[in-house]
Amino acid sequence: MAAPAQDNKAAPPQRVGVREFRGNLTEYLRQARQGASFLVMSRDQVVAELGPPPTAERPRRRPGTLRGKIRMAPDFDTLPPDVLAAMEGSDA
């Protein structure tokens, strides 16, 4: 089994045969976790790519971004009499 390249960002992915990949799956997953990338090949065709997940940086929250953009109806918290009666268990 080949060792991962030191600079994974500049180095092209390693090519690995399906049989080699299946036989050493846990080792390839460990290397991928550490940043290595692999192309799984079958008969000189790429059938899969394995690499570390992309680092998706979440945008920082900005409190107050929607201030003034959300409106509530004037009767938002007014309950219709029939719904109130059903909730209280009394007859309407």
Q: Which domains does the chain have, with CATH numbers?
A: 14-50 (3.40.1620)
Q: Taking Cα atoms as reference points, which of 52, 55, 3 lies closest to residue 27? A: 3
The residue with tokens 């953009």 is 69
What pLDDT, in 10s, does the model give residues 19-77? 999 999 999 999 999 989 999 999 999 999 999 887 778 888 889 988 999 998 888 88
Q: Give the Cα separation of 51 and 9 in Å (integer).
A: 11
Q: Taking Cα atoms as reference points, which of 22, 23, 5 lies closest to residue 14? A: 5
Contacts of 50 (CB under 8 A, 6+ apart): 21, 28, 29, 32, 37, 38, 39, 40
Residue 6 has pLDDT above 60, yes or no: no
